[in-house]
Amino acid sequence: MKNVREVATELLLKIDRSQAYSNLLLNQAIQKNNLSGKDAGLLTEIVYGTVQRKNTLDHYLKSFIKKPLDKLEDWVLVLLRLSVYQMVYLDRVPDHAIINEAVVIAKKKGHKGISGFVNGVLRNIQRKGVPGVASIEDERLQLAIECSHPEWLVARWGDQLGDERTKDMCTINNTPPSVTARVNRLKMSAEEAVRRLEEQSVEAEPSKFVPDGIKILSGNLPKSELYGSGCLTIQDESSMLVGYALDPQPGERVLDACAAPGGKTTHLSERMEDKGEITAIDLHDHKVKLIEEQVDRLGLTNIETIAMDTRKAAKLFKEETFDRVLLDAPCTGFGVIRRKPDIKWAKQPEDIERIQKVQSELLEAVARVVKVGGLLVYSTCTIEAEENGNQVDRFLDRHPEFEWDVSLSKRLPESVQPYVSDLKGEVQILPQNFNSDGFYIACLRKTSRKGGDGTC
């Protein structure tokens, strides 16, 4: 049977080679290798931590290896990275044990020469310690290495947000995210949920950010009776804001245009008291099934699901069918780097251009089905201006029948209102604002039937 570090080496290699998402590969590896809770936790920590700190780890290694790192065999580089990660950031395993295990893996996968090289590099690091970043003169490059983010991304965020906010965001991106849940308001309040969870050995407290939310402090929420009976949905607090922004009313017709896995769809239903109609669309059948599973677990009855390309929505539905439309658009995901650290390495500048074209096509498709007087909420889990404020500005230029809904602020929780634009119905939440996901929400109102030219 393979040990944890050997499994970690293979996993990190797959992530590097195939750009596969670490969370999916991790779950598969834990099941395939039948790892216990303790070993599964260590594997998760090593894999996530090594992915998260890749830039910093490479900076450390460059001081101890004469040739460029990309000239090393890829598995050797991965093995060195995960070993240095453990030596620098974990304190449960002594350095000599980490080095010995790395040498054993190197012998097994390579030959005596490679194991000697691995041993030499790691013992040098153990003896001399890792170098700092103070000697790097360029401040953005220094931040990119110290906080382990791609240099192009740090430069881009610095231009958009300023260097101070970029530094705060890069720092918090390296910290573990909170586990939060939304209370099904049809069944109980946040206070009652906290009290009943305590009886089931789950410690929680009401969210200080969103009234429907609770923060889990300890315990296994998915295994609790309260979760199983449909009283709770695991959801980030920023994501919950979308339900407040759209504010659907009982009896209305609502379209959730990119709905999977259904967290926001079911929140809309709960806010509508399960009355009215919600049409939840997503592209793939298997993702639509995820929505249906949540609908069944929560006991909701007013949601219809359809597997289809939202860009064809205007062909399926008559114009002005819906009172409210939510477009939670596919995006680069730079607001959820804490949960998916591989995103920052997998995405490139051209991905922003590609995804914003898709977002624009989706906006065009759903604009036609909003009733006059109805609301269109556009949201993403990214902090990239081209996908957020700039995207909506371009849409409004093409569509004079829509305008910013500046009453958005009144519908959002009091804690969020200071972050809402005074002149536009939009809010950008950065991860450091509430220790939650980075999220963007724009709210538009359709004021007439005069449409745009349909181009984007």
User: Residue 82 has which token pair?
Assistant: 């995960």
**Cα 310 from Cα 438, distance rounded (Å):** 24
The active-site residue out of 147, 170, 231, 381 is 381
Residue at 115: amino acid letter: S
User: 420: which DSSP letter?
Assistant: B
User: 162: which DSSP letter?
Assistant: -
Instruction: Name the nearest CA neighbour of 376 among 333, 410, 325.
Output: 325
State the maximum Cα–Cα separation within the chain, in Å, rounded to a whole number: 75
SS3 184: coil
How far is residue 153 from each of residues 45, 54, 156, 158, 169, measured CA to CA in Å? 24, 15, 5, 8, 12
* Strand-strand pairing, 253-256 and 322-328: parallel
User: Residue 126 has which token pair?
Assistant: 């153990």
For 302, residues 6+ apart whose C-beta sits below 8 A from its C-beta are 269, 272, 274, 275, 276, 277, 278
- Residue 290: Cβ within 10 Å count: 17
**Cα 236 from Cα 202, distance rounded (Å):** 18
* Strand-strand pairing, 402-404 and 439-446: antiparallel
For 289, residues 6+ apart whose C-beta sits below 8 A from its C-beta are none
Residue 381 a catalytic site member: yes
Block residue for tokens 């001081």? 63
Sign, Cα dihedral of 331, 337, 340, 342: positive
- On whether the CB atoms of residues 265 and 377 are closer than 8 A, the answer is no
Name the strand (E) or helix (H) holding 139. helix 139-146
- Residue 407: Cβ within 10 Å count: 12
Instruction: Name the nearest CA neighbour of 282 among 327, 252, 318.
Output: 327
User: 372: which DSSP letter?
Assistant: E
How far is residue 350 from each of residues 315, 331, 346, 386, 439, measured CA to CA in Å? 30, 13, 11, 12, 21
Bridge partners of residue 298, in order along the sequence: none
Active site residues: 381
